[in-house]
Structure formats: C-alpha cells, structure tokens
C-alpha cells in the first residue's frame, strides 16, 4: 500500500484511513471563512514539527505578512520556522508561478531543493484557472510537476455558492477532493462539515463529518451514532 502523509487535522486522518497518499495532489474547496488557509498551514506545520518535512505555502492573494498575522491567532509563529529554513511563505502571481513551474531549473525547483520541501500548499488555485490558455492542459502540467517532485500537495480552491454541486475539470485532474462547508441547521444554527469526495489510492469514510475551528486550528469530530447508522443504510 502507498505510504501515507498525516494531514495534521485531528480526526481527518481517521476519515482517510491514515492520511493522504504520499505525493498526491488534493483540492480543498470551500466558501469564505470555512478555514481553507488554516487547513493549509496546519498541514504544513504537521510536516515540519512531527515528520521532518519542510513545506512551502504559496499565496496569490495575500502578502505573506497577512498570513503571518492571521495565523498568530492560533499561536503559530511562522516567521521563526522560515528562519529555520523549514517553511517558506511565498507571495507571487499565478502567471509567474506557472511560468516557473514549466521551466525546469527555475525558481520553483530551486526553492524546493533549497529546503528539501516535501509538502506544498497553493492558496488558491482558483486564479490559475483564469489564466489565458488551455485550462485542462495547464492543470495537468501543474499536477505533473508537483508529482514529479514527490510533493504531497494541497490546492485550496474558493467555492461559490452557485457552483456547489457541479463538477469542474480540476475535480477530475487532481488525486483528491475535499470539501469544507457551512450548513444551515434549524434556521439560525450553523454547522461546519468536511467531506472527502475523492481520494485516489485510499479508502475513505464516506459522508459529511462535522468539524470545528478552535484555538489550535481545525479538528474533525466523530459523527453521531445516528449519522453513522444512517450512512450505513445508503
């Protein structure tokens, strides 16, 4: 069986029967405030702190300073990890990233080698799709380069309410697809749910699992007995 990469999100590794397949590329999709960025950073911190796996966080939309600032809420000192060469938070444009990715020996490859990177997060790939050119081809190229370097990758994607049920090309291209959502329960109550819709090469526990965001990040809760019973019927 393929080696697993522990996600670092408590509870999610049970849903994934041990974790993400090593070297896989996974889309983590969700609406605003569902915790995508937090998920990504938490995944990198797990690698750095527990598995000696340095990581890179690429952000198209925010300056690295904003990410440092936001993540201080969880008491995560990202600057220190950067100084120790275990983490890189890089702000660049999707055009430059794609340009670098197709260019062997370019900045992207150099950065990976420099810190011996094993995990990468892109926040978010929504913008790559809007670059000029053949979208499917671009996504395949992107996926293949990540695989070539053996990186276990999380690609964050914004989800608009309108498109929530339609499958897009990226859902087919990448190895995994995880969806974060905020569901309405009983008028004003909200419930966060996480669902693994696809993960090539591993079993998954089907269905929506409740998750929470707390002071130390995301964690996936056990489903209620009733919900597990209902799932077993379908």
Q: Which residues of this chain interact with ligand ATP, rule CB under 6 A?
A: 30, 32-38, 70, 73, 158, 213-215
CB of 74 to ligand ATP, least distance (A): 7
Upper half-sphere CA count for residue 91 (Cβ side, 13 Å) = 8
Smaller CB separation from ligand ATP, 74 or 140: 74
Nearest to 157 by CA among 25, 29, 26: 29
Is residue 93 a contact partner of residue 155, using CB atoms and an 8 Å limit? no
Smaller CB separation from ligand ATP, 36 or 86: 36
Contacts of 70 (CB under 8 A, 6+ apart): 37, 62
Pull the structure tokens for residue 185: 């329960």
CB of 77 to ligand ATP, least distance (A): 16
Region near Mg ion per CB under 5 A, out of 14-22, 34-42, 93-101, 111-119: 34-42
User: Counting contacts by CB under 5 A, is residue 152 touching Mg ion?
Assistant: no
CB of 183 to ligand ATP, least distance (A): 15
Q: Please select the residue that binds Mg ion; options are 5, 26, 37, 193, rule is CB under 5 A.
A: 37
Is residue 27 a contact partner of residue 176, using CB atoms and an 8 Å limit? yes
Residue 59 to residue 69: CA distance in whole angstroms: 14
The binding site for Mg ion (CB under 5 A) comprises 36-37
């Amino acid at each position: 069986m393929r080696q697993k990469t522990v996600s670092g999100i408590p509870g999610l590794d049970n849903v994934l029967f041990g974790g993400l397949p090593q070297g896989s590329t996974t889309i983590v999709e969700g609406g605003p405030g569902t915790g995508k960025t937090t998920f990504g950073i938490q995944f990198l911190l797990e690698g750095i702190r527990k598995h000696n796996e340095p990581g890179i966080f690429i952000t198209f939309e925010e300056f690295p300073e904003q990410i440092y600032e936001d993540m201080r809420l969880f008491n995560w000192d990202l600057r220190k990890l950067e100084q120790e060469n275990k983490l890189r938070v890089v702000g660049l444009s999707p055009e430059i990233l794609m340009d670098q990715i197709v260019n062997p020996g370019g900045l992207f490859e150099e950065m990976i080698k420099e810190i011996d990177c094993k995990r990468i997060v892109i926040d978010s790939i929504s913008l790559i799709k809007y670059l000029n050119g053949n979208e499917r081809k671009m996504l395949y190229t992107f996926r293949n380069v990540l695989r070539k370097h053996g990186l276990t990758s999380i690609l964050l994607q914004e989800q608009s309410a309108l498109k929530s049920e339609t499958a897009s090309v990226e859902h087919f291209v990448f190895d995994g697809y995880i969806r974060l959502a905020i569901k309405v329960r009983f008028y004003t109550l909200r419930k966060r749910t996480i669902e693994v819709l696809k993960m090539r090469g591993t079993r998954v526990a089907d269905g929506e699992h409740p998750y929470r965001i707390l002071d130390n990040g995301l964690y996936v809760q056990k489903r209620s007995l009733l919900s597990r019973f209902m799932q077993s019927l379908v």
